[in-house]
Structure 1
């Protein structure tokens, strides 16, 4: 039976001049164990193939993995110290393969090579992405801080205001040709601005491409290829293009060639006997947009809460062509939002309703606003209830 010694036994032997050699087992951290195991994989590759692993785009995926790992081990002093006793072939001190650009640790190696694996063995591949897919993701992900973001921040703020006002809108991304300098997109939930676009070149497949400087609204930027941005937008189900702001008239008094959608801005007065309406009848107006006939739109007004459950009078109409009804209506309501009528009425079932399209605005101001919509200057103004006039916005 093996002898065991207590602390008292050790003390007694020490007094007798007898030294006890205590054998301790070196414990390695999980990271050190992984470094050793990874190095042994590389040694096995060298033994099997008679050469160190090389990194090439069309090479074997595991050889590329081992090549990247070997370079990283050579660059880590802790790894060199740990593996020196195991490096019988001089792999850590050799200089017999080209440097590799990946600056990754072992955890990121497989991801960089486009491989998703189980938590255990590296050889159990689950999915291997194409180089094109990997580069597209890398381009989007490899962002850096935009040092001159203050130059671009006002552009993002202006775009957001124009989206809110209806001057711009978003729509699904469709074509690579839409990617141009000065345009905005939404990718991975962030607004992206193409600040610079290099000279277009042809890929080996004969397709056009160009290097872009893309600024993101979170203060980062990326120098990506046009085709990478295209792939990212196509892959992102919520990827969108932000249209240009409306330049010039939003609509005209007469149709032009190619105009197809006809609509009408209408201004109504209510014949309701509600005290607030009765006291301000000359100022209380409903402003709306319809692509139907106005008479059809107001039919049965006395039964509809949106018309204050009362007959209405049409006091002005403005014909327009090639319109986006929702955008135009939102724009008008934003301009006069400060004068929205705060009123609650009961519908025919007695339920309370708060109509949203009624405003305390003189008719002549509505007419002025329509003229500014026509000439494209309306976005510079807002309605001031105190002066009952359109005034320039502070940011203009």
Structure 2
């Protein structure tokens, strides 16, 4: 009998719950997020990754936890599943940690887990230095370098391993932020350690570069360009310091780590959830103003899950306005901007070249091109 690929599988069912309802995370607020109408998406994100390796399912043994932590999805997809940890009631961080502890004795080829930075921390707290891991991005805040750039990208890396391609391992940072401070508008990030991940830079995200832009003159120039061209449309203002510069120039309140809605240079909705944005932009002409995450290049799907795929389709590709300093773009070293909307078909449609505003009457043509979708 041929030796099969031993794939550890962990899903944090509550990962990302707080994003669409403007809670900016899920740690400790899962019940509140569900009460606000949030829909769990971690299962779908993991399914998108596993879809890539479905043709190889006869070569794979999935070792996982019961129910929503992995068993249900893997069995429904037709994988051969062995359950080594049973969850009673709602899964918690300790279940992830217990699962990793069991997997230490399984001589895994890879541990694939779906979650955010909190989940990565839970895995790291138990995993040893020799356990190869890979994250499927499903959380709100993903600063860690242990995740694929999209769920499909994570699946592509597993496929490379199954195809016998030479894939090296590298150490990547496990990062996390204080969600309580984050909800108050403060980013307080910390590196907790490193884990081994496949060294495939096309598909594995870089660690987020933190910090506030210090070049106020450049930000003011970008803001002046945006404001000069504002029309009578509704403007959805995304998160981040570059977009915040536009709000500052307009002298209106801004949710640094949330999404606001403008009309006639005035805020008509602050720190809005996905459902609120859909309600308030119905049958309206809408533009979306966003910036990229420094170091990673993501413009959608990291910290702005309020921008749902339905909303982005409503806005349309031609009405997406991207802002960035040239310093941020240069730091990408030629890597494209990335969209991870949760809808792979939409992500493909959004690929192409965009005119990025980099100053007053100053633009750079830059590509959005998810490497795992090309």
Query: Comparing both chains, which one has the higher relative contact order based on Cα–Cα distances under 8 Å and sequence gaps of 6 or more?
Result: 2
Place the TM-score, normalised by the shorter chain, in its bin.
under 0.3
Greater Rg over alpha carbons, structure: 1
- Length-normalised TM-score, structure 1: 0.21
- Length-normalised TM-score, structure 2: 0.22
Which is richer in helix? 1
